[in-house]
Chain A
């Protein structure tokens, strides 16, 4: 898998680069700001761009803007946005229109190569990944009129793990149940969220959207 990294802190992006390289990911370029990133993506057409939200000049949401630009101009490149913020708002903003091929992780997740590579694989496959902490926060909120309220606790856990971008096997491992049970839980979640029997990947993305929109 070919990846570019955009982060204005050199030590972080080189570190993440090394980490990914050692995990067998091909890091084809590094950028220190949004403009560099867009040039780099145009040149190298990577599978995934890892983008820090805060980048020069204002250190606000330049990364978010760049992420959208990449999705618009280079549909073949998935984007994994890294954020300092636990607030779901940025994730909602980023993902609400076209969640496929997009990920939103807390910055500190880059220190865990396994989580990072897993997320890269998922977004490269066109899925949608949201940080576990943010999904938990969204699901913790009770909205009586939301379809989410109809979910059982087990289904809720399943949805949470789907939103984090985990595969059925991974979910089965986490919940310590069989993959078949996971499949039936997923089916039940999709049914309760009124998601049509589309290809599995799309339904997973739609389920994440349901979480984001509540």
Chain B
């Protein structure tokens, strides 16, 4: 979270600075010399059309930024007011002391106003204040440097002497302003240094670079050819470029913010298309430990093609979240545009995806274990039926032949051996459970369930309603096991007069209910526990309802979509 917090603060502070620079450059370009007396009879707003254009741009920018960066919008508005201060100070009826106060205090009024704005948005921390100081120090530095046009009037000799203030005998106003400028610069640099490394969003860079270029061009023009229209034209062009750049960047910020807002909203409503679908393709989460990327449903995803944006998790896990973006232009600044509450929405989605991914993996392995157990049981049954049983049959046959040959002389030992082998055969049939998987494979679920019901000694009513025959084998097996285990329990423990089995399919699920009117009070034994495991592995649910004296009902729900 700190990273985003810092960048948001930096963004807003930088927006203030840039807008201020823009405003002043614009004023200068408009030919309004802030500290020259202006005839107030023309009214304080009798500005050059470019100045008006700038004001309009400022208002528009405030409006654009208002819903997404309220602090930046307020900052810009404050800048607008501050820009007017020097103009007011130059009014003919303004006393010198007030004029100097307006001029000198104007820039420093910015911190106060912006601090109010920022505390109003409730986001001022220690770091935030440092950033604010940096921004506003830069702002006042800019006012001084730009206000006095240091390239034409480096020591403020032409403007400052016109202003008389108390104590000017000790320190010339130009010296005071110079010291202020140096102090402001120093505090700005110190504050920036205290912030540590940060990545300002693109809008800051665009605006700052444009501003510097414009300012440098205008200054160079002034320096090389003073009092020519070249400087004037270059300034005006520069201002237009700057306003345009700021506007485009603001619009970009707003669009990216809209994407993030939609993303946060969509995350709160699972199943919806993410971020409007066209911009944000998908959100992936990294499952820690095994390094798999999963989508929001926990399904493993391959390495995506296209632009991806990797974010840190809110708990500090680096690069734990990945946004796949269809439009690279909107990917820029996306990470910075995520506000704290949205970051938490993303975190909730990440945790959900990770836990689903883990659950899937666990169910997968549970399924593999159950399937391995089934395979092993089948193998054992087959080995017993096709191997041991055949050998025993062969042995019994040989014994019979021996007995026949000996006729009356046959030994009691042979007869005893024969009896032993028959008993072994009968015992073997008990051990190697006949049929379930065989019937299931050979004849399908319905036949297997019917067979189980037939073999049940309690009178059992069977209802089967399956829309299709191609249920997944694991689901068929689970249904057959459920019926077999429950009816075996009914036979063995319930002391029931009648039982019922209901298997039906509804909306992608198979519902199995096995009940009896027996004594109830059943506790899950090994059979039901294994059944519950089997059902859990398939993502289904298992419930046992068995009040003492009230019969027993087992319900199993299995997804089979």
Chain A residues packing against B (C-beta within 8 Å) = 9, 11-12, 15-16, 18-19, 22-23, 54, 59-61, 84-89, 106-108, 110-113, 137, 140-144
Give the chain A neighbours of B450 by CB distance below 8 A. Answer: 89
Give the chain A neighbours of B392 by CB distance below 8 A. Answer: 108
Q: Say whether B386 contacts A59, CB under 8 Å.
A: yes
Q: Say whether A107 contacts B389, CB under 8 Å.
A: yes
Question: With an 8 A cutoff between CB atoms, is B459 at the interface?
Answer: yes
Question: With an 8 A cutoff between CB atoms, is B254 at the interface?
Answer: no
**CA of A61 to CA of B447 in the docked complex: distance in angstroms?**
14
Q: Say whether A84 contacts B454, CB under 8 Å.
A: no
Question: With an 8 A cutoff between CB atoms, is B488 at the interface?
Answer: no
Residue among A59, A89, A113 making CB contact with B400, cutoff 8 Å: A113
Residue among A22, A88, A107, A141 making CB contact with B393, cutoff 8 Å: A107
- In the complex, identify which listed stretch (B245-253, B285-293, B433-441, B550-558) lies at the interface while the others stay far away: B433-441
**In the complex, how many angstroms separate the beta carbon of A126 from the nearest chain B beta carbon?**
27
Q: Say whether B404 contacts A23, CB under 8 Å.
A: yes
Q: A12-B397, A15-B401 are known contacts. Are A89 and B441 too (CB-CB below 8 A)?
A: no
Q: Say whether A111 contacts B393, CB under 8 Å.
A: yes
**In the complex, how many angstroms separate the beta carbon of B123 from the nearest chain A beta carbon?**
72
Q: A9-B390, A86-B429 are known contacts. Are A60 and B399 too (CB-CB below 8 A)?
A: no
Q: A108-B422, A111-B396 are known contacts. Are A60 and B401 too (CB-CB below 8 A)?
A: no
Nearest chain B residue, comparing its CB with the CB of A18: B401
Question: With an 8 A cutoff between CB atoms, is B36 at the interface?
Answer: no
Q: Say whether A16 contacts B441, CB under 8 Å.
A: no
Q: Say whether A89 contacts B439, CB under 8 Å.
A: yes
- Interface positions of B from 386 to 444, Cβ below 8 Å from A: 386, 389-394, 396-401, 404-405, 418, 421-422, 425-426, 429, 434-435, 438-439, 441-443
**In the complex, how many angstroms separate the beta carbon of B384 from the nearest chain A beta carbon?**
9
Q: Say whether A141 contacts B454, CB under 8 Å.
A: yes
7 A-B contact pairs sorted by A residue (CB < 8 Å): A9-B394, A19-B397, A59-B382, A60-B441, A89-B454, A107-B389, A111-B422
**In the complex, how many angstroms separate the beta carbon of B262 from the nearest chain A beta carbon?**
56
Give the chain B neighbours of A84 by CB distance below 8 A. Answer: 385, 389, 429, 434
**CA of A112 to CA of B421 in the docked complex: distance in angstroms?**
12
Give the tally of cross-chain contacts (CB within 8 A): 90
Q: Say whether A108 contacts B393, CB under 8 Å.
A: yes
Contact flags (1/0) for B185-211 with A, using CB distance below 8 Å? 000000000000000000000000000
The main secondary structure of chain B at its interface with chain A is helix
Q: Which 5 interchain pairs have the tightest Cβ spacing? A: A15-B397, A111-B396, A11-B394, A108-B425, A9-B390
Nearest chain B residue, comparing its CB with the CB of A143: B459
**In the complex, how many angstroms separate the beta carbon of B497 from the nearest chain A beta carbon?**
10
Give the chain A neighbours of B459 by CB distance below 8 A. Answer: 141-144
A18, A23, A88, most chain B CB atoms within 10 A: A18
**In the complex, how many angstroms separate the beta carbon of B65 from the nearest chain A beta carbon?**
74
List 20 extra interface pairs beyond A86-B429, A108-B426, A111-B396, CB under 8 A: A9-B390, A12-B390, A12-B397, A15-B397, A15-B398, A59-B385, A60-B441, A60-B442, A85-B434, A85-B435, A87-B439, A87-B455, A88-B454, A89-B443, A106-B429, A107-B393, A110-B393, A111-B422, A113-B400, A141-B459
**CA of A200 to CA of B400 in the docked complex: distance in angstroms?**
34
**CA of A61 to CA of B385 in the docked complex: distance in angstroms?**
13
**CA of A111 to CA of B391 in the docked complex: distance in angstroms?**
12
**CA of A102 to CA of B421 in the docked complex: distance in angstroms?**
27
**CA of A23 to CA of B451 in the docked complex: distance in angstroms?**
37
Give the chain A neighbours of B457 by CB distance below 8 A. Answer: 140-141
**In the complex, how many angstroms separate the beta carbon of B506 from the nearest chain A beta carbon?**
28
Q: A22-B404, A22-B405, A141-B457 are known contacts. Are A54 and B385 too (CB-CB below 8 A)?
A: yes
**CA of A108 to CA of B451 in the docked complex: distance in angstroms?**
22
Give the chain B neighbours of A59 by CB distance below 8 A. Answer: 382, 385-386
**CA of A107 to CA of B391 in the docked complex: distance in angstroms?**
12
Nearest chain A residue, comparing its CB with the CB of B421: A111
Give the chain A neighbours of B385 by CB distance below 8 A. Answer: 54, 59, 84
Give the chain B neighbours of A89 by CB distance below 8 A. Answer: 435, 439, 443, 447, 450-451, 454
**CA of A9 to CA of B397 in the docked complex: distance in angstroms?**
13
Give the chain A neighbours of B442 by CB distance below 8 A. Answer: 60-61
**In the complex, how many angstroms separate the beta carbon of B37 from the nearest chain A beta carbon?**
108
